Amino acid sequence: MGKNEYELSKHLQEKIEKGKVVREHVDETISNPDKFVELEEEEQHFFKKIVNFGSRCFKVVFNPLKRLVITAYFDRKMTKNDCK
Protein backbone atom coordinates (compact mmCIF):
# COMPACT_ATOMS: atom_id res chain seq x y z
CA MET A 1 0.00 0.00 0.00
CA GLY A 2 1.49 3.35 -1.03
CA LYS A 3 1.47 6.40 1.21
CA ASN A 4 -1.01 8.17 -1.08
CA GLU A 5 -3.54 5.40 -0.41
CA TYR A 6 -4.25 6.49 3.17
CA GLU A 7 -4.61 9.59 5.33
CA LEU A 8 -2.97 10.43 8.63
CA SER A 9 -5.02 11.40 11.67
CA LYS A 10 -4.56 14.91 13.03
CA HIS A 11 -2.97 13.37 16.13
CA LEU A 12 -0.36 11.55 14.05
CA GLN A 13 0.31 14.57 11.84
CA GLU A 14 1.09 16.56 14.99
CA LYS A 15 3.45 13.84 16.26
CA ILE A 16 5.29 13.92 12.92
CA GLU A 17 5.50 17.73 12.94
CA LYS A 18 6.93 17.67 16.48
CA GLY A 19 9.54 15.11 15.42
CA LYS A 20 8.18 12.37 17.68
CA VAL A 21 7.41 10.08 14.70
CA VAL A 22 9.21 9.72 11.38
CA ARG A 23 6.80 9.57 8.41
CA GLU A 24 9.07 7.12 6.57
CA HIS A 25 8.72 4.67 9.47
CA VAL A 26 4.93 4.81 9.10
CA ASP A 27 5.10 4.21 5.34
CA GLU A 28 7.66 1.40 5.60
CA THR A 29 5.76 -0.34 8.41
CA ILE A 30 2.52 -0.35 6.45
CA SER A 31 4.06 -1.35 3.13
CA ASN A 32 6.43 -4.01 4.50
CA PRO A 33 5.44 -5.12 8.03
CA ASP A 34 7.27 -7.76 10.03
CA LYS A 35 3.97 -8.63 11.69
CA PHE A 36 0.33 -7.84 10.92
CA VAL A 37 -2.67 -8.25 13.26
CA GLU A 38 -6.30 -7.58 12.34
CA LEU A 39 -8.20 -7.02 15.59
CA GLU A 40 -11.53 -5.98 14.12
CA GLU A 41 -12.90 -4.98 10.76
CA GLU A 42 -11.97 -1.38 11.50
CA GLU A 43 -8.64 -1.90 13.31
CA GLN A 44 -5.37 -3.33 12.05
CA HIS A 45 -1.92 -3.23 13.65
CA PHE A 46 1.30 -3.26 11.64
CA PHE A 47 4.69 -3.87 13.28
CA LYS A 48 8.19 -3.31 11.91
CA LYS A 49 11.63 -3.58 13.50
CA ILE A 50 13.44 -0.28 12.86
CA VAL A 51 17.13 -1.21 12.80
CA ASN A 52 18.48 2.35 12.85
CA PHE A 53 16.51 2.99 16.07
CA GLY A 54 18.12 0.24 18.13
CA SER A 55 16.03 -2.48 16.48
CA ARG A 56 12.98 -1.18 18.32
CA CYS A 57 9.55 -2.34 17.19
CA PHE A 58 7.42 0.35 15.55
CA LYS A 59 3.63 -0.02 15.66
CA VAL A 60 1.09 1.56 13.32
CA VAL A 61 -2.64 1.47 14.12
CA PHE A 62 -4.74 1.64 10.97
CA ASN A 63 -8.46 1.85 10.19
CA PRO A 64 -8.91 0.19 6.76
CA LEU A 65 -12.55 1.27 6.43
CA LYS A 66 -11.61 4.95 6.63
CA ARG A 67 -8.13 4.40 5.07
CA LEU A 68 -6.81 6.30 8.11
CA VAL A 69 -3.63 5.84 10.13
CA ILE A 70 -4.75 6.51 13.70
CA THR A 71 -1.40 6.55 15.51
CA ALA A 72 2.13 5.19 15.44
CA TYR A 73 4.76 4.66 18.12
CA PHE A 74 7.56 2.41 19.34
CA ASP A 75 5.97 -0.48 21.23
CA ARG A 76 8.06 -1.59 24.24
CA LYS A 77 6.26 -4.91 24.69
CA MET A 78 6.74 -5.89 21.06
CA THR A 79 10.37 -4.74 21.14
CA LYS A 80 10.98 -7.17 24.02
CA ASN A 81 9.39 -9.90 21.87
CA ASP A 82 11.60 -8.96 18.89
CA CYS A 83 8.58 -7.65 16.98
CA LYS A 84 6.93 -11.09 16.85
Q: Quick one: which H or E segment has residue 5?
A: none
**Domain enclosing residue 39, as ranges:** 3-80
Give percent helix, percent strand, percent coil of the chain, each to the nearest 5: 35, 35, 30
Q: What angle do CA 18, 72, 31 make, to 5 degrees?
A: 115
Provide the domain count of the chain. Answer: 1
DSSP 8-state symbol, 22: -
Which tens digits make up the pLDDT trace of 36-69?
Answer: 999 999 999 999 999 998 899 999 999 999 999 9
Question: Can you tell me the distance from the alpha carbon of 13 to that of 76, in angstroms, rounded to the nearest whole number?
Answer: 22
The full length of the chain comes to 84
pLDDT range class, residue 5, cuts 50, 70, 90: confident
Average pLDDT over residues 11-17: 96
Residue type, 52: N
